[in-house]
Amino acid sequence: MNPIKVGLLGIGTVGSGTFNVLKRNQEEIRRRAGRGIEIAVVADLNTERARELTGGTVDVVSDAHDVVTRPDIDIVVELIGGYGIARELVLKAIEHGKHVVTANKALLAVHGNEIFEAARKKGVIVAFEAAVAGGIPIIKALREGLTANRIQWIAGIINGTTNFILSEMRDKGLDFDTVLKEAQQLGYAEADPTFDIEGIDAAHKVTLMSAIAFGMPVQFDRAHVEGITRLAAIDIKYAEELGYRIKLLGITRRREDGVELRVHPTLVPASRLIANVEGAMNAVLVQGDAVGATLYYGKGAGAEPTASAVIADLVDVTRLHTADPNHRVPHLAFQPDELSSVPVLPIDEVTSSYYLRMRVADQTGVLAEITRILAEAGISIDAMLQKESREGEPQTDIIILTHLTREKHVNAAIRSIEGLQTVLSPVTRLRMEELN
């Protein structure tokens, strides 16, 4: 049987990794796919570099539009990234009957509904394992491995840059700005790290997982997103003293009245496996009603880990290339006409436990006033830590951990607490998740 022909759009870090792994393991891949998989053409603006990377063994063009319309190409691999030209090229490839493999979580989180619908009408596949958590096969697990389960919640460390920064802040006691510079010098953070440190990258990924887990359209615009830029080293230290570690988590949870979809720094008990995921590694914890908790761990980025996921998709598409489109695994795991209109809940309606840190005057009655406000808001205290004031400095930190409560109640209580004359700075509020 003739090999399946692939057009590769972009041969940067992941593109070159895909080319090299496919070449190195071609015989193993052929045995698994049932036929060869061959990159026939590469599109990249830097054609000289592309020819050097491919060793002159494939066609190289500068215009990606030439690739998505070529009649001999069966699968288009989009590794350009971004929302603009990538969307145009993916839709054009679908229009010309090409299957698509992409690592572009931003594109699918924002335009996924449009792209999946176009692919359904044309009878082609859009595969995107590499879009979430690099080499970890979490999309396949959610779409296929856990298909018997009613997924209850997902919590993931799905951005290696922020996990590296938080690990360094905890280990070395350094502030955010110092560690960010270190991460940039080591190549863990981009020159412009905004998507990573502001939580946007993680939000793209958890949006896709949420849609697959709960059988609903992609709704990135409804996600609540907070990054780690305002996280203080002192809170990491206090969390450690209380038996917790702070991780940037992407969280999505099924509730009777809707779905929670959020990204933010989160206190997790230090005894949990996911709390001990350090450095640039990723991990995703999935709770299903039948299987219980399952944890997926590995490298979330890098040339060959991500290439592993890209090629796994290529193999899947090759196996299903001639299959009846109605009998393939749906893009979002549920049949398109069975997607739910379940609402994504606003952050005010989220239920969580909370870490509250406040700088207060070290005088009689301060704690009583604070606990009174929390009690009036219906917020129960789980634990409390009061630091000793330093000599000659009549102020101290009070840290309170709450039981489960609605976010809107915590916000109202914080406003009242900040109105006290004895509270000397804004209250630091972080969410907590037991993940048990």
Quote the CA–CA distance of 32 and 314 in Å, as a whole number: 11
Residue 91 has what pLDDT? 98
Residue 389 pLDDT level (bands cut at 50, 70, 90): confident
Residue 394 has what pLDDT? 86
Among 213-217, 255-259, 311-315, 389-393, the minimum mean pLDDT is found in 389-393
* This prediction's pTM: 0.95
Residue 159 has what pLDDT? 97
**Domain residue extents for the chain:** 4-135+303-338, 138-299, 351-432
Q: What is the CATH number of domain 138-299?
A: 3.30.360.10
Residue 299 has what pLDDT? 94
Q: Is the pLDDT of residue 390 over 80?
A: no
> Angle, nearest 10°, between helix axes 303-320 and 13-24?
60
Quote the CA–CA distance of 251 and 209 in Å, as a whole number: 10
Residue 6 has what pLDDT? 98
Question: What is the β-pairing status of strands 4-9 and 75-78?
Answer: parallel
Q: How many CA atoms lie within 13 A of 135 on its CB side?
A: 17
Considering the chain, what is the average pLDDT of its residues? 95
pLDDT top residue among 321 and 418: 418
Q: What average pLDDT does this structure show over 98-116?
A: 97
Q: What average pLDDT does this structure show over 205-231?
A: 97
Note whether 425 and 359 are within 8 A (CB). Answer: yes
> Angle, nearest 10°, between helix axes 26-33 and 303-320?
30
Q: Which residue has the tokens 């840290």?
A: 399
Q: What average pLDDT does this structure show over 153-172?
A: 97
> Angle, nearest 10°, between helix axes 160-172 and 233-241?
70
Q: Is the pLDDT of residue 311 over 80?
A: yes
Residue 230 has what pLDDT? 95
Q: Is 205 a catalytic residue?
A: yes
For 362, other C-beta atoms within 10 Å of its C-beta total 17
Note whether 250 and 209 are within 8 A (CB). Answer: yes
Q: Which of 68, 72, 93, 89 is nearest to 80 (CA)?
A: 89
Q: Is the pLDDT of residue 94 over 90?
A: yes
Among 100-109, 156-165, 333-342, 349-358, the minimum mean pLDDT is found in 333-342
Q: How many CA atoms lie within 13 A of 256 on its CB side?
A: 0
Q: Is the pLDDT of residue 391 over 70?
A: no
Q: What average pLDDT does this structure show over 103-110?
A: 97
Per annotation, catalytic residue among 5, 105, 205, 299: 205
Q: What average pLDDT does this structure show over 202-228?
A: 98
Topology annotation, domain 4-135+303-338: Rossmann fold (3.40.50)
Q: What is the pLDDT of residues 242-272, one digit of tens each?
A: 999 999 999 999 999 999 999 999 999 999 9
Quote the CA–CA distance of 88 and 31 in Å, as a whole number: 34
Contacts of 252 (CB under 8 A, 6+ apart): 153, 154, 206, 209, 210, 213, 214, 259, 260, 261, 262
| DSSP letter (8 states) at residue 142 | I
Q: Is the pLDDT of residue 417 over 80?
A: yes
Q: Is the pLDDT of residue 392 over 70?
A: no
Quote the CA–CA distance of 305 and 315 in Å, as a whole number: 16
Q: Is the pLDDT of residue 436 over 90?
A: no
Residue 81 has what pLDDT? 93
**What CATH homologous superfamily does 351-432 map to?**
ACT domain (3.30.70.260)
Residue 158 pLDDT level (bands cut at 50, 70, 90): very high
Q: Residue 42 is inside which H or E element, if any?
A: strand 37-43
Note whether 143 and 329 are within 8 A (CB). Answer: yes
Strand intervals (E) in 103-243? 126-127, 151-157, 224-225
Question: Count of residues for the chain?
Answer: 436
Contacts of 84 (CB under 8 A, 6+ apart): none
Q: What is the pLDDT of residues 34-61, one digit of tens each?
A: 999 999 999 999 999 999 999 989 999 9
Residue 370 has what pLDDT? 97
Residue 241 has what pLDDT? 95
Residue 324 pLDDT level (bands cut at 50, 70, 90): confident
Q: What is the pLDDT of residues 173-191, one digit of tens each?
A: 999 999 999 999 988 899 9
Percent of the chain with pLDDT over 70: 100
Residue 97 has what pLDDT? 97
Quote the CA–CA distance of 289 and 149 in Å, as a whole number: 6
Q: What average pLDDT does this structure show over 107-134?
A: 96
